[in-house]
Amino acid sequence: MVAVNSIEEAATLVSKASRIMVVGSSGGGKTTLSQGIASHRGVEYFSIDRDVRWISGWTQRERGEQLRILKDIVRRDRWLLDGSGPSTFDIRLPRTDIVIWMRLPRITCLVGVAKRVARHYGTVRPYMAEGCREPIPDREFLSCIWNFEKRHAPVFLRNFELYGPDVPIFQVKSRAQARQLLDLVRAAH
């Protein structure tokens, strides 16, 4: 793993990147940061949830179709891909110029989900697949967020080494840091 330790260095790398991956727990701000970066960089934004995984009514696309769509996205020259599923890191990482890992505290992520539900409950939130109305989170979803670091960080790290050992990775640890990164990218463009 090539760790990027300075936010200024991360902003420089993001400003030059053609293909950017944003990963992390639900509620961590992946979509907000991704949208901001994509709009300032002029790269096309794709969401694993909206564009690959879900169709109306929270029904998952067939796995083969998901992989076909994802491979089509990743083949493109310029993209920002928001989504954490490590089962597809082998497809995404080799084509990625930089990974932004939203690694915020679990309480921050739970508050993010609560705010999202309060704002969008019963409606289809922006950047979600058609017909996927925002639900009240169930215990399984909340447990996934609560245990995300313990369960997923080791898998992320292993996959970073396997499929993208030379890909720079910047870890965002707070909402303030995410805003600062976006401000620096914005200033560069």
Q: Residue 123: what residue type?
A: T
Work out the pLDDT band at 8, boundaries 50, 70, 90: very high
pLDDT digits (tens, 9 = 90+) for 146-156: 999 999 999 99
Mean pLDDT, rounded, for 111-138: 93
Percentage of the chain exceeding pLDDT 70: 100
Mean residue pLDDT across the chain: 95
pLDDT for residue 56? 92
Domains of the chain: 2-188 (3.40.50.300)
CB 99 within 8 A of CB 168: yes
Work out the pLDDT band at 188, boundaries 50, 70, 90: confident
Q: Which is more confident, 66 or 126?
A: 66
In the predicted structure, residue 51 carries a pLDDT above the cut 80: yes
Write the DSSP assignment of the chain as a string of letters: -EEE--HHHHHHHHHH-SEEEEEE-TTSSHHHHHHHHHHHHT-EEEEIIIIIIEETTTEEPPHHHHHHHHHHHHHSSSEEEE---GGGHHHHGGG-SEEEEE---HHHHHHHHHHHHHHHBTS--TTS-TT-PBPPPPHHHHHHHHTHHHHHHHHHHHHHHHH-TTSEEEEE-SHHHHHHHHHHHHHH-
pLDDT for residue 127? 86
Number of neighbours of residue 44 by Cβ within 10 angstroms: 13
Mean pLDDT, rounded, for 52-80: 96
Tokens found for residue 26: 């639900």
pLDDT for residue 85? 87
d(CA 137, CA 143): 10
CB 24 within 8 A of CB 103: yes
Work out the pLDDT band at 67, boundaries 50, 70, 90: very high
d(CA 116, CA 95): 31
In the predicted structure, residue 92 carries a pLDDT above the cut 90: yes
pLDDT for residue 126? 85
